[in-house]
Amino acid sequence: MFFFPIFPKARASRRAAKALYAQIVTRAREAVFYAQLGVPDSFTGRFEMIALHTGLLINRARQESAQGQLLAQSLFDEMFLNMDMSCRQAGIGDLGVPKHIKKMMKALQGRALIYDLGAKLGATELAEALTKNLYATVEKPAPAILNAMSEYVISCNQSLASQKMNDFMNGQIVFPNLPQAEGDRHVEISQVA
């Protein structure tokens, strides 16, 4: 169960986390990921895109002082408050929700680490992680698509590293340009659902 924070710093982190999470969800829902880059347009695919962006920001915030740690925890909490609601709206019963949330929490932690490490090691290692996680429920995408997603994740990591903690605490985040697959690799949404 989540409680409303009573201390000013905790309240500020919660407000920032709500604003940041809303921007993450907006970015994760961009049609280019599903229509051109083959991310499955499903509950799982949308979770994977949110986990990718949230995990990178949590890793970035944890590199800071206690304020960053508090923001990382608030962002984690905000995500799973929303995931709880999403599971219920998807028709998962009250008894099944905690089990799904626990699986999603483990998935977020694992993906946050592997995407951050992959972004630091390079596109090849990152492509393997994306294939195993983001594209796990679909046929392996074309190399151009994997390359575009890998470059996007690396750009996200670099962009987050260059942003100030004060900006995050003010609920501001800047994402890099949306990725584009090379050539005419357009995939219809109906083909990935």
pLDDT digits (tens, 9 = 90+) for 2-24: 555 556 677 888 999 999 999 99
pLDDT of residue 181: 66
pLDDT of residue 82: 75
Q: Do 151 and 179 form a contact (C-beta atoms < 8 A)?
A: yes
Pairwise pLDDT comparison (75 vs 121), residue with the higher score: 75
**Confidence class for position 175, pLDDT limits 50, 70, 90:** very high
101-146 pLDDT tens trace = 788 788 888 888 888 888 888 888 899 999 999 999 999 899 999 9
Q: Do 33 and 40 form a contact (C-beta atoms < 8 A)?
A: no
Q: What is the pTM of this model?
A: 0.83
Gap between the Cα atoms of 125 and 6, Å rounded: 43
How big is the chain, counted in residues?
193
Q: Which residue has the tokens 């083959």?
A: 38
Gap between the Cα atoms of 75 and 56, Å rounded: 11
Looking at every residue in the chain, the average pLDDT score rounds to 84
pLDDT of residue 67: 86
Q: Do 145 and 134 form a contact (C-beta atoms < 8 A)?
A: no
The number of helices, as runs of H, and strands, as runs of E, in the chain is 9, 0
Is the pLDDT at 192 greater than 50? The verdict is no
53-67, 86-100, 128-142: the lowest-pLDDT one: 86-100
Gap between the Cα atoms of 151 and 71, Å rounded: 26
pLDDT of residue 5: 59
Angle at 189 between CA 184 and CA 193, to 5 degrees: 130
Return all residues near 48 (Cβ < 8 A) that are at least 6 apart. Answer: 39, 111, 133, 134
